[in-house]
Amino acid sequence: MSRPVPVDPAALRALVAEPRGRRFLVVGLGRSGTAAARYLLARGALVTATDRRPADELGAGVRALGEAGVTLHLGGHPDEAFREVDAIVLSPGVDPSLAPIDEAARRGVPVVSEIDLVADRLGARVLAVTGTNGKSTTTALLASMLAAGGFDAVPCGNYGTPLVEAAEGDHAGRRYALEVSSFQLETTRLLRSGAAILLGIRPDHLDRHGSLAAYRAAKERVLLLRDPGAPGICCVDDPLVAEAARAALPPVLAVTLEGRPEAGGCLEGDTLVLRFPGRPAVPLLRVDEIPLPGRHNRWNVLAAALAATAAGAGTREVAEAVRRFRTLPHRLEEVAQVRGVLFVDDSKATNVDAALRAIETYPGRRLHVLLGGRDKDGDFRPLAAALSAAGARALAYGEAGPRIAEVLEKEGFREVERCGDLATATRRAFAEAAPGDVILLAPACASFDAFRSYAHRGDAFAALAREIAREEEGR
Q: Which residues are catalytic?
A: 135, 158, 205
Q: How many CA atoms lie within 13 A of 74 on its CB side?
A: 16
- 218 with 146: CB under 8 angstroms? no
Q: What is the DSSP letter of 193?
A: B
What's the CA gap between 228 and 123, in Å, rounded?
Answer: 11
What's the CA gap between 13 and 122, in Å, rounded?
Answer: 12
Alpha helices, DSSP H, located in 225-378: 239-247, 296-310, 315-324, 352-359
Sign of the CA dihedral with 94 first, then 99, 105, and 109 last: negative
Element (H, E) at 136: helix 135-148
Helix axes of 315-324 and 296-310: crossing angle, nearest 10 degrees:
140
What's the CA gap between 96 and 314, in Å, rounded?
Answer: 41
Single-letter amino acid, residue 93: G
Residue 403 has phi, psi (to 5 degrees) of: -65, -40
- 296 with 346: CB under 8 angstroms? no
CB proximity list for 335: less than 8 A, separation 6 or greater:
343, 344, 345, 461, 462, 465, 466
- 19 with 121: CB under 8 angstroms? no
What's the CA gap between 156 and 176, in Å, rounded?
Answer: 7
Beta strands 341-345 and 333-338 are antiparallel
